Structure 1
């Protein structure tokens, strides 16, 4: 999916956004 764009930035941003959301949701749920 990301390969179609050929933009590493897209994958990086998507990864950071996913990890950030997972971190926030995970911590809130854990707490």
Structure 2
């Protein structure tokens, strides 16, 4: 496998998780 492909896949998986975590934290702070 190419490094670029692996990196792209890592970003695709990590980014949504990071976004979800940020939203969860924001909701917790609002309470």
Q: Give the TM-score normalised by the residue count of structure 1.
A: 0.59
- Kindly report structure 1 stretches of 4+ aligned residues shifted beyond 4 Å: none
Structure 2 unaligned spans of 5+:
none
Higher relative CO (Cα under 8 Å, sequence separation at least 6) belongs to 1
Q: Give the TM-score normalised by the residue count of structure 2.
A: 0.59
RMSD across aligned positions (CA): 1.3
Largest Rg, 1 or 2: 2
